[in-house]
């Protein structure tokens, strides 16, 4: 079944080692004893850089993510609201993926990209959702700040590392990198925290894709205008017998089919694979 992504609220399924529960209840995740001194964020970052080999033969996407979560001992959150808004049952979205000795992040991209899905580290979980929602969730995650005369550059670098987000100080503003920052904040959105830290140094952050770019105010305002240009949708309305509201990825020049080994719903399956087979 082919579908298009869009989301306002997050209703998710938490996939953790040995447990599946709805978001809101405390996810039961098996502790990674080999990284007991490492934060969950750092553990997920390391897992994404691990080499993996998968051989998934037409399995529901949530089951595939469950197996990856158990294997890597990390928590994965699947944003089910994306599916429900389109009337698509996530249990009927099947993926087929064969990869060998590739980084986990590359394997996930291969599996998720044909569906317009993206992944991002948010808190102690790996969130699977649309690209735009992934960025929003990252920038809106809650943080606590306690800085006492910490240089601006170090404060931003540490915050970027701790939250697994891209926070970049404009090289043209490096002369301000040593500006001492003293600030205490509790339970504030990450983007607000970066804005206040930057403000102390007379700078301003601006979103550029999945990056918070800290620069001079005039440059930030210009970049904001440029970045607000609408992007063309990855999916186009379906025109075949599938009926209205069931989008299908456009194929043709400039729109190649998905990578081999991935079967996104109603797109042509690999030879010998029937993704809509109900005999399971």
Question: What is the CATH number for 174?
Answer: 3.55.50.30
Q: What is the domain count for the chain?
A: 2
Question: Is the pLDDT assigned to residue 232 strictly greater than 80?
Answer: no
Domain that holds residue 176: 142-227
Residues 186 and 268 in one domain: no
Query: Within 10 A of 54 (CB to CB), how many other CB atoms are there?
Result: 19
In a domain, 271, yes or no: yes
Evaluate if residue 236 carries a pLDDT over 70: no
Average pLDDT over residues 241-248: 37
For residue 221, the model assigns a pLDDT of 93
Residue 224, burial from CB neighbour count under 10 angstroms (0-12, 13-18, 19+): middle
Residue 183 lies in a domain: yes
Q: Is residue 124 part of a domain?
A: no
**Given a cut of 80, is residue 32 above it in pLDDT?**
no
| CB neighbours of residue 257 within 10 Å | 13
Do residues 221 and 238 both lie within one domain? Answer: no
pLDDT of residue 4: 37
CA separation for the pair 46, 180 (Å, rounded): 31
Instruction: Give the C-alpha separation, 196 to 191, whole Å.
Output: 9
Range 218-244 average pLDDT: 58
**SS3 assignment, position 125:** strand
Compute the Cα dihedral for 42, 213, 169, 198 and give only its sign: negative
Q: Are residues 150 and 238 in the same domain?
A: no
Indicate whether 121 belongs to any domain. Answer: no
Same domain, yes or no, for 217 and 245? no
pLDDT at 43: 93
- Under DSSP, is residue 182 helix (H, G, I), strand (E, B) or coil? strand
Domain boundary among 183, 208, 227: 227
* pLDDT score of 163 more than 50: yes
Last residue of a domain, one of 192, 212, 227: 227
If phi over 0 gives left and psi between -120 and 50 gives alpha, with beta otherwise, what is residue 158? Answer: alpha
Q: Give the model's pLDDT for residue 89.
A: 83
Q: Is residue 55 part of a domain?
A: yes
257 belongs to a structural domain: yes
Whether residue 18 is found in the same domain as residue 96: yes
Provide the pLDDT for residue 252: 36
**Strand runs (DSSP E) across 7-46, as ranges?**
12-16, 19-22
Arithmetic mean of pLDDT, 250-254: 37
CA distance 274 to 45: 35
Mean pLDDT of the chain: 76
**Residue 17 domain-assigned?**
yes
8 shares a domain with 107? yes
- Shared domain check, 263 and 210: no
């Amino acid at each position: 079944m082919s579908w298009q992504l869009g989301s306002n609220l997050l209703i998710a399924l938490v996939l953790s080692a040995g447990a599946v529960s709805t978001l809101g209840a405390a996810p039961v995740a098996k502790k990674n004893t080999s990284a007991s001194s490492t934060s969950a964020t750092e553990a997920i970052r390391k897992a994404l850089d691990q080499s993996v080999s998968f051989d998934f033969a037409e399995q529901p996407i949530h089951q595939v993510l469950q197996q990856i979560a158990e294997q890597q001992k990390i928590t994965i959150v699947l944003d089910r609201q994306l599916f429900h808004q389109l009337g698509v049952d996530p249990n009927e979205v099947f993926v087929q993926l064969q990869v060998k000795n590739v980084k986990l992040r590359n394997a996930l991209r291969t599996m998720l990209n044909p569906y317009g899905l993206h992944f991002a580290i948010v808190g102690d979980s790996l969130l699977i959702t649309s690209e735009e929602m992934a960025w929003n969730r990252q920038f809106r995650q809650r943080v606590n700040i306690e800085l006492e005369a910490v240089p601006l550059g170090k404060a931003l670098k540490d915050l970027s590392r701790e939250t697994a987000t891209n926070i970049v100080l404009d090289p043209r503003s490096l002369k301000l990198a040593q500006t001492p920052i003293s600030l205490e904040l509790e339970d504030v959105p990450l983007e607000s925290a970066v804005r206040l830290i930057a403000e102390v140094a007379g700078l301003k952050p601006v979103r550029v894709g999945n990056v918070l770019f800290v620069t001079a105010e005039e440059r930030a305002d210009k970049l904001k205008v440029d970045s607000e240009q609408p992007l063309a949708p990855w999916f186009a309305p379906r025109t075949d017998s599938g009926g209205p509201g069931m989008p299908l990825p456009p194929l043709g020049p400039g729109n190649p089919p998905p990578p081999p080994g991935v079967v996104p719903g109603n797109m042509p399956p690999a030879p010998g694979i029937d993704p809509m087979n109900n005999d399971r």
